[in-house]
Structure 1
Amino acid sequence: MNAIDNAVWDAALARLLDDVYAFARTGPRSHDDWGRDVLNVMDRSVTDPRGWRTLEWQIDKAGRKSARPPYPFLPLTAQQVHTWTFPVTACAAAELLASLTQEWFFEARLVRARADRDDVLADACSVLSRFGADADFRTSSDLARTSASPDFLAGELAGGRAFTDHVMDLGLIAVSADEVGVFWSFNAN
C-alpha cells in the first residue's frame, strides 16, 4: 500500500462511504493498548491527527445528545473491542471496506458484480494505505472468526457481535504505530 495525501484520502473516502450510513474517523495512538484508542475514536474524544476528513451521518449527532457520547456505539471496554474483533489481512481489509459501500440485503449493485469494482477496491486500498504497510486490521465480521483472509466479495456480508443498537452493524479497525482508524457501516433500524 502506498502512502496518500489529504486530497486522495478525502476523495476516496467520499466515493466509498458518503452515500451509506457509515462512520469513518481516525485518531492518534496514545496508549499501549490500541483498544483504548479505538474507544476514543468511537466516542469522538479525539480528532484526526492529520486534520483530514471524517464521515458520519448527521443522525448520530441527535443520538449522542439524547443517548450517550459514543452513540451509535454501545459503551464498550477495550477488552470487548479486542475480543469482539478478529484479525484480517490487508487484502481482506480492503475488500471489507469496499463492501461497506453497499447495503447488506437487497443490494442491486454488489461490489463483486459492479463495472467499477476495481475502482472501488482501489479507493479502499488508498484509504487503508494511510496506515502503512505494517498496519494491523481487525473486523467485527464473523467471516473472520476462522480465517484472516475471508473473501468479503464472494457472498453475503456477515455481521458479528453488535457494537451498536442497530439491527446490524459491521466494522473495520486499522491500527498503525501512530494512528487508529474506525470504519463502520450500519443497517439502521
Structure 2
Amino acid sequence: MLAVLHRSVPDPRGWIRIDGDRTNPARHTAPAYPFDPPDSSELPRRLYPLEAEAAVAALAVMAEEWQSEPSPVRSRPDLNTVLADARTLLDRYGPTARYWTNATAAASDPAPDFVAAGLQGTGSHGFLTSEYLNGLDLLDDLGLIAVNDDEVGVFWSFGAY
C-alpha cells in the first residue's frame, strides 16, 4: 500500500495509471504528494478493517464534494447506481478481497454507515501532506484500501481549500 501511495509500483495488470499530479512541481518538495504516508509501523493505528459492503459505501461517498456538497450521495435519486458503480470497481479485487480505511468510524465497527454520514460527517486519520504547496491547502481525506492475493488498490478522496 505504501508503494502505491509513493507511486513506485506499476499496476499488476499493466493498466494505465491515472496520475494527475505526475508533473506537479509539488512532487519535488513532497515526492508522494498529495500524500505523506506514515511509516509502516503506524499503519495498524491509522487503518481499520471494513466489511465489503461498508467498503462499497465508503467508495460511493467519495463521489461527494468535501466543501458545500449540494447533494450528498444519500439524497441522490441515483444512489443505487452510485453504489453499483462502486461495487463494480471493487469487484476487480474478487470475493476474497480485504478492505481497510482510515475512517475513525471503523475503529469500533467494521460496517459503519458511510452513506448516512457522508464525507463531511466522516472523520479520519490523515494521510495527507501538511505542506502548503502551489496555493492548495489539503484538509480532509477519506481512504479505502482493497487487498487481494495479487494486488492492492488505493482509493482516496481529498478536501482542499
Whether TM-score is above 0.5 comes out as yes
Q: Which residue of 1 aligns with 2:133?
A: none
Alpha-carbon shift at residue 48 of structure 1 (Å):
0.7
**TM-score, length of structure 2 as denominator length:** 0.86
Q: In the aligned structure 1, how far is the partner of 2:61 from the partner of 2:16? A: 20
The match for 1:8 is none
Shift of 1:45: 0.5
Distance 1:82 1:61, change over 3 A: farther
Report 1 or 2 for greater relative contact order, CA contacts < 8 Å, sequence distance ≥ 6: 1
> 1:162 corresponds to which residue?
126
Cα distance, 1:58–1:74 mapped onto 2, change above 3 Å = closer
Contact 1:60 1:71 in 2 (8 A): no
Q: In the TM superposition, what are the counterparts of 1:133-152 in structure 2 within 5 Å?
A: 133-152=95-114
User: Match of 1:184?
Assistant: 156
The answer on whether the counterparts of 2:61 and 2:118 sit within 8 Å (CA) in structure 1 is no
SS of the counterpart of 2:49? Answer: strand
- Matched with 1:112 is 74
Q: Is the 8 A contact 2:72 2:118 kept in 1?
A: no
1:98 to 2:60 alignment? yes
Partner deviation per Cα, 1:107-145 (whole Å, 9 max, x = no partner): 112111111111111110011011111111000111111
User: Contact between 1:88 and 1:137, CA under 8 Å: does it hold in 2?
Assistant: yes
Aligned AA (1:163): F
**Partners in 2 of 1:53 and 1:126 — Cα distance?**
18
Give secondary structure in 1 for the equivalent of 2:115.
coil
Q: CA RMSD in A?
A: 1.7
Q: Decide whether aligned partners of structure 1 residues 120 and 60 sit closer, same or farther in structure 2, where only a CA change above 3 A counts.
A: farther
Cα gap change, 1:159 to 1:55, in 2 (>3 Å):
farther
Alignment deviations for residues 12-47 of structure 1 (CA, whole Å, 9 cap, x no partner): xxxxxxxxxxxxxxxxxxxxxxxxxx0100001001
Distance change in 2, residues 1:105/1:59 (3 Å) = farther
SS of the residue 2:114 aligns to:
coil
Q: How many residues align?
A: 151
Which structure 1 residue ranges, 5 or more long, are not aligned? 1-37
Note if contact 2:74-2:118 (Cα within 8 Å) is conserved in structure 1: no
Q: Quote the Cα distance in structure 2 between the aligned partners of 1:72 and 1:100.
A: 16
Letter in 1 for 2:127: F
Gapped regions of structure 2 (runs ≥ 5): 131-137
Question: Identity over aligned residues, as a percent?
Answer: 42
Distance 2:84 2:113 in 1: 16
Could you tell me which residue of structure 2 aligns to residue 39 of structure 1?
2
TM-score (norm 1): 0.74
Q: Is the 8 A contact 1:60 1:72 kept in 2?
A: no
CA apart distance, 1:162: 1.0
